[in-house]
Every structure is written in structure tokens, then in C-alpha cells.
Amino acid sequence: MRIGHSSLTHQHLMKREDPPICTSCGTQLTIKHIITECRQFESEKRKAGVPLILAEALQPANIQNTISFIINSNLINLL
């Protein structure tokens, strides 16, 4: 996640398809979008205490909160 790659956000490259689009926001689906911007997961991010800045969300001090968000929002098997 720190380099912005995941199966969900980059598998389109191997499949030679268009990049995935967020069904909630209509923008390209990226790690940054999921963790800091997506409206669909706002309450889960807030409950988990995920910082609004990606670099902060992925810091060792906050990574447990970010992982909790990913698990609680059922994204764990997609990323």
C-alpha cells in the first residue's frame, strides 16, 4: 500500500483493461482515494481513526488504525 499498488487498483494493467472507477465517487480507484478521499468509507475511516493524509495513515504509528479500517470495511481481500 505504501507504493500505491494493490490487486484492486492495479490488476487492470495485467488484464489490459481500463482502470477501475469508484462506484461511489466516480473517480479512478487508487489506494489514496480509498484511504483518504472516498465518501463511501467515511464513517469506517473515522471510527478507526485513520488520518486524512495518506503519508500519515501509512506511518508505523497509525498503520494499525489503517489496517483496522481495511478489515472493518471488507476491503482486506480486495487489496
In a domain, 55, yes or no: yes
In a domain, 25, yes or no: no
Q: What is the pLDDT of residues 12-57, one digit of tens each?
A: 888 898 999 999 999 999 999 999 999 999 999 999 999 999 999 9
In a domain, 65, yes or no: yes
Q: Count the Cβ atoms, other than its own, within 10 Å of residue 28.
A: 14
CB 25 within 8 A of CB 38: yes
Residue 7 main-chain phi, psi, to 5 deg: -60, -45
Q: What range does the domain containing 63 cover?
A: 31-77
CB 58 within 8 A of CB 1: yes
Instruction: Tally the domains of the chain.
Output: 1
Q: What is the pLDDT of residues 37-46, one digit of tens each?
A: 999 999 999 9
Distance, CA of 37 to CA of 50 (rounded, Å): 11
